[in-house]
Amino acid sequence: MELFQYTIRKKISFAGIGLHSGRPVNLTIKPAAVDTGIRFVRLDIGVSSSVPAFMNKVVDTSLATTIAQDEAAVSTTEHLLGALAGLGVDNAVVELDGAEVPIMDGSAGPFVHLLQKVHRRRQNAPKRVLKIVKEIVCRDGDKLIRVLPHDGLKVTCEIDFAHEMIGRQTYTIDVNPKSFAREIASARTFGFMDEVKKLKAHGYALGGSLDNAVVVDQLGVLNKDGLRYADEFVRHKVLDLIGDLALLGCPLMGHVIASKAGHAQHLRMMQAIATNPDCWRFVRLEQAADNTVLERVITTTKAAGNKILPFLVPPAAPFVGGTCAA
Ligand SMILES: [Zn+2]
C-alpha cells in the first residue's frame, strides 16, 4: 500500500460513445486537490451537475453501475473508476457532456494507456485506507462475496457459465498499478448474442458492437481477432469489481473473493462493510524513522467514520442482493 495520495499531472480527454445510449460523449479527467476523491461533473446540465463517486450515490446496478445526485446521473462508471483505482489515482475531477461514460473498447485499456502517459503526481497528504480486520460474508442465492483481512488489496473472482467457451474460470491478483495495467486493464466486457439482441430490442446496448465487447454465440467468439487472454471473461469481472470497490471512497486493504457476483452484489457487500464498523478500521500509513510502515488508526467508530467518509450515511439504493453476516 502506498503512503501518499496521488492525482494526475495534467488533464486528459477521451471521445467515444455510451454503451447503452449509443450517443457520442466527451470526457476529460483533470487533476484535483487532496481529499477530493473522484468526482464526476456533467457539463451538459448546468447547476448541481456534480456527483461524487461514492457508494451512497448508487441508484442502479442492473446492467452497469449508475450514480446520481440531484439531476446529475452518470452511468457505466466501473471501467473508468477501475482504471483510476487500479493505477492508484485518489483525486480527480471527471467532466463529461453526457449521462454515460464512453465505453471505448469495452475495457479500461484506453483510460489506463493515457493515464500512464501523463503520470501521477504525489500529493502532500497521507492516503486513508479502509483496513478489513474481520471477515464479512454476503450470500445471494449461488452468488457469494467474502472479504477477509489481507496486507494489501487482493481480489479473487470466479465465474461459471454453462458455455463451452467460458465454463468455470478463476482469477486472483494482488492489485498494484503494474499488475493491474498488465493483467486486468485490457480485458473487455462480454455478452451472449441472444441476450444482446434482447437488450437492443428493449433500447439498451444501443452502442454495443464487436468494437467494444466480446460477443459469444453457441459456436464461439464472434470477434474476428478472438480473445485478448484465454480467460478474458473472468479478468473483466475482476475489473468490474475493482471499479465498483472504488465507490468506497478510499483504498481497501483486504482480500475480496467474489463468486458469480455482479454489480448488485458488489454494492451489497460495500453496504455490509459500511454497516459493520467492527469489521474494519480507517488507518493512515506512515513511514517510521527505521523505514518500517506504521498504521495510525483514524477511527473505528461509525459516528466518527461519518465525518470522514460519506459512505456510512443511508444509501440511495435500498439494500438488495441477499444477506450478509460478519
Ligand atoms: Zn464491465
Domain spanning 4-325: which superfamily? lpxc deacetylase, domain 2 (3.30.1700.10)
Enter the pTM of the model: 0.94
φ and ψ at 236, to 5 degrees?
A: -65, -35
Helix, strand, coil shares of the chain as percentages rounded to 5? Answer: 25, 35, 40
How far is ligand 1, taken at its centre, from the CA of residue 87, in Å? 17
* pLDDT score of 111 more than 90: yes
The arithmetic mean of pLDDT across residues 135-139, rounded, is: 95
Tens-place pLDDT, residues 230-258: 999 999 999 999 999 999 999 999 999 99
φ and ψ at 325, to 5 degrees?
A: -140, 145
How far is ligand 1, taken at its centre, from the CA of residue 3, in Å? 29
How far is ligand 1, taken at its centre, from the CA of residue 99, in Å? 17
User: Band of the pLDDT at 100, cuts 50, 70, 90?
Assistant: very high
Active-site residues: which are they? Answer: 263
Sketch the domain layout of the chain as residue ranges.
4-325
How far is ligand 1, taken at its centre, from the CA of residue 295, in Å? 33
What is the 8-class DSSP label of residue 50?
Answer: E
Q: Which residues contact 28 (CB under 8 A, 6 or more apart)?
A: 11, 12, 13, 14, 94, 95, 96
